[in-house]
């Protein structure tokens, strides 16, 4: 009687657990649909925008019929992993440039959605409804997701590939069958073609699996989902699959992706060199590198908005940097502690990513600069943050009354929803530079008059302008180890203790020379926000051509006509 009663309770408990998970999957599906619909309207506006400089340079290389990876890139130094290049070329429609840009933005959205759905589905299968809601809310409110969901770049593909590696590695904690190991190997291959940083995430996941298996071996624990013991940390299948995965992605990197990455690293050395530890520099310089790493690790959950607020509220720079470092480090420690029990594997992988990244930086192989180059970190950061949020909420809720818990939960839900819709609004309205209306104005009023474009917007202008437009003062499009703004003339090489974007004072003389002998000339200024001396450029042209006046304006760009006559 007692055994039957206990068995019935166990069945009911299991059924309730299953029902909660199914409700979690259903609710997450509704939230994802809401996200897709919202993103669709946002992308409807966003995909109609012009490409900015990096996107334009990459598009030049994508449009090249054949790409020899043993030679320098044909156009500029902007590249993407070979997997993205192949997919982009295969899906690119044979139509105008703006339609191709629009299509590639939709490809980016589709790529990142694969990773989002995979994470939410994977969490909902194992964890309760609270965790599913938390990961859904954190992902959909992530500024990193919204910022790069429509970028013409490999970021969406990199996010999804890293997610597949992470989730397939998660299975290996409890399973040691060949099928699971083969799945991890396949996901590693996909990641190798999709991301430059695949070796980091694959090695970090393997370290996470090994560490958790070792912990369970030490504790002699038993899986709650399986009556058999956890597999050993050095099982033959794990060693074989792990070794094959590492060898495969390293081979892909060195044979294909490394050459593409070299072009970017050389062309953007003026930025990347500032993101590496250098113990010959001051203590403060290396502290800034640590802060950048912290900001990169936490950027998926919005640290990019916390850091400027800290600096704005602190008058002293040194205090602001120290505050940023302490708050960021404290947040990481809190996440790790809160999520350690319920999400051991993800915490161990997160720590492994942190450690591997520091070692590679010390070796000079990667730089801690911009978070978009570390999007492979986002999946594990988001999951650790979601688990920590639930565990932290449960801890705090134990001290609150039911009414206060309801108020706090409502406030938290309102916060997440407001951030989600704010992200959609920003995505819909964001525009880096808009040149198409200005080029259309030129074609309508004076198409034979030569056009000069400030070097920051030259890649986009050369892509979007009509072949009949005579462009003057343009930089050489061929790839080069020199940064394209330096080749374009508007920037100079800056030493490590100077501002990154050092304006070239001789660029005004270049414009004067390019306009000499012309009866009239069009000028487009865009991406010149580091150069606040536009009046000097206009004066240089007016002395030889004639008065300059604004002819048209667009988002982030201004068109001037200089000459005696009105076009």
The DSSP element (H or E) to which 186 belongs, if any, is helix 178-194
What dihedral angle (degrees, nearest 10) is formed by the CA atoms of 147, 150, 154, 157? 100
The DSSP element (H or E) to which 142 belongs, if any, is none
Please tell me the predicted confidence (pLDDT) of residue 450.
Answer: 94
Please tell me the predicted confidence (pLDDT) of residue 343.
Answer: 92
Contact 457, 463 (CB under 8 A): no
What are the tens digits of pLDDT across the range 109-124?
A: 888 888 988 998 899 8
For the chain, what's the residue count? 567
Please tell me the predicted confidence (pLDDT) of residue 318.
Answer: 65
What are the tens digits of pLDDT across the range 137-187?
A: 888 888 888 778 888 888 989 999 999 999 999 999 988 899 999 999 999
Residue 212 to residue 233: CA distance in whole angstroms: 8
Crossing angle for the helix pair 236-252 and 198-219, to the nearest 10 degrees: 170
Residue 250 to residue 189: CA distance in whole angstroms: 10
Please tell me the predicted confidence (pLDDT) of residue 207.
Answer: 96
Residue 477 to residue 458: CA distance in whole angstroms: 10
Residue 208 to residue 211: CA distance in whole angstroms: 5
Residue 491 to residue 482: CA distance in whole angstroms: 11
| Residue whose entry in the numeric block shows the structure tokens 């068109």 | 559
Contact 242, 203 (CB under 8 A): no
> How far is the first Cα of the chain from the last one, in angstroms, to the nearest whole number?
97
Instruction: Give span(s): CATH 3.40.50, the chain.
Output: 436-563
Please tell me the predicted confidence (pLDDT) of residue 391.
Answer: 94
Contact 75, 458 (CB under 8 A): no
Q: Is 472 helix (H, G, I), strand (E, B) or coil?
A: strand
As a whole number of angstroms, the longest Cα–Cα distance in the chain is 104
In 3D space, the residue among 13, 1, 104, 92 whose CA is nearest the CA of residue 51 turns out to be 104
The separation between CA 143 and the C-alpha centre of its own chain, rounded to angstroms, equals 10
* Half-sphere exposure for 56 (CA within 13 Å, toward CB): 21
Residue 541 to residue 554: CA distance in whole angstroms: 22
3-state helix, strand, coil in the chain (%, to 5): 65, 5, 30
Please tell me the predicted confidence (pLDDT) of residue 26.
Answer: 62
Name beta bridge partners: 521. 562
The CATH number for 436-563, chosen from 3.30.200, 1.10.1220, 3.40.50, 2.60.40, is 3.40.50
pLDDT (tens place) for every residue of the chain, 567 residues total: 455 544 444 444 444 555 555 555 566 666 666 666 555 555 555 556 788 888 899 998 888 767 777 777 888 888 888 889 888 888 888 878 888 888 888 888 888 888 988 998 899 888 888 898 889 888 888 888 877 888 888 898 999 999 999 999 999 998 889 999 999 999 999 999 998 888 999 999 999 999 999 988 887 655 555 445 678 888 899 999 999 999 999 999 888 888 777 777 766 766 677 777 877 777 777 877 888 888 888 888 877 777 667 767 666 666 766 777 788 888 899 999 999 999 999 999 999 998 998 898 888 788 887 777 788 889 999 999 999 999 998 888 888 888 888 888 888 878 777 777 776 666 666 667 789 999 999 999 999 999 999 998 999 999 999 888 899 988 888 887 778 888 888 888 777 667 777 888 899 999 999 998 899 999 999 888 788 889 999 999 998 899 999 999 998 899 999 998 776
342: burial class by Cβ within 10 Å (0-12, 13-18, 19+)? middle
């Amino acid at each position: 009687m007692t055994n039957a009663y206990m068995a019935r309770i166990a069945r009911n408990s299991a059924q309730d657990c299953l029902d909660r998970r199914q409700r979690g999957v259903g609710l997450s599906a509704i939230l994802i649909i809401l996200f897709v619909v919202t993103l669709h309207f946002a992308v409807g506006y966003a995909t109609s925008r012009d490409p900015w400089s990096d996107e334009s340079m990459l598009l030049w290389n994508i449009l090249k019929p054949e790409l020899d990876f043993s030679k320098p890139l044909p156009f500029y130094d902007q590249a993407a992993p070979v997997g993205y290049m192949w997919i982009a070329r295969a899906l690119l429609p044979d139509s105008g440039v703006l339609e191709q840009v629009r299509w590639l933005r939709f490809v980016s959205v589709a790529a990142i959605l694969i990773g989002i759905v995979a994470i939410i589905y994977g969490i909902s299968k194992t964890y309760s409804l609270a965790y599913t809601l938390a990961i859904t809310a954190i992902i959909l409110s992530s500024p990193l997701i919204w910022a790069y969901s429509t970028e013409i770049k490999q970021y969406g593909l990199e996010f999804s590939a890293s997610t597949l590696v992470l989730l397939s590695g998660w299975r290996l904690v409890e399973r040691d069958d060949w099928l699971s190991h083969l799945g991890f190997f396949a996901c590693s291959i996909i990641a190798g073609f999709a991301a430059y940083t695949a070796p980091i995430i694959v090695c970090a996941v393997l370290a996470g699996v090994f560490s958790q298996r070792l912990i369970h071996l030490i504790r002699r624990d038993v899986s709650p989902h399986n009556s058999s013991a956890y597999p050993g940390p050095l099982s033959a299948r794990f060693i074989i699959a792990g070794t094959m995965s590492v060898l495969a992605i390293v081979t892909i990197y060195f044979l294909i992706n490394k050459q593409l990455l070299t072009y970017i690293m050389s062309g953007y050395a003026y930025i990347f060199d500032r993101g590496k530890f250098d113990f010959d520099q001051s203590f403060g310089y290396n502290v800034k590198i640590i802060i950048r790493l912290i900001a990169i690790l936490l950027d998926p959950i919005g640290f990019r908005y916390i850091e400027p607020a800290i600096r704005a509220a602190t008058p002293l720079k040194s205090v602001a940097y120290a505050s940023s470092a302490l708050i960021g480090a404290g947040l990481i420690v809190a996440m790790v502690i809160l999520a350690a029990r319920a999400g051991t594997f993800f915490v161990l992988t997160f720590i492994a990513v942190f450690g591997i990244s520091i070692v590679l930086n010390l070796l000079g192989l990667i730089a801690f600069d911009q978070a978009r180059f570390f999007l492979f970190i986002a999946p594990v950061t988001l999951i650790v943050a979601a688990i920590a949020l639930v565990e932290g909420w449960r801890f705090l809720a134990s001290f609150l009354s039911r009414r206060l818990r309801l108020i706090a939960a409502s406030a938290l839900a309102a916060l997440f929803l407001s951030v989600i819709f704010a992200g959609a609004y920003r995505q819909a309205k964001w525009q880096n530079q808009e040149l198409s209306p200005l080029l259309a104005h030129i074609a309508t009023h004076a198409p034979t008059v030569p056009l000069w474009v400030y070097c920051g917007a030259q890649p986009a202008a050369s892509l979007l302008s009509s072949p009949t437009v005579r462009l003057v003062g343009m930089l050489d499009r061929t790839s080069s180890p020199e940064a394209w703004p330096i080749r374009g003339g508007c920037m100079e090489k800056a030493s490590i203790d100077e501002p990154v974007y050092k304006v070239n004072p001789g660029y005004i003389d270049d414009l004067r020379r390019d306009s000499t002998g012309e009866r009239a000339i069009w000028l487009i200024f865009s991406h010149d926000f580091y150069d606040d001396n536009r009046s000097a450029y206009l004066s240089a042209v007016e002395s030889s051509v004639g008065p300059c006046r604004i002819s048209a304006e667009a988002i982030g760009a201004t068109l001037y006509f200089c000459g005696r006559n009105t076009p």
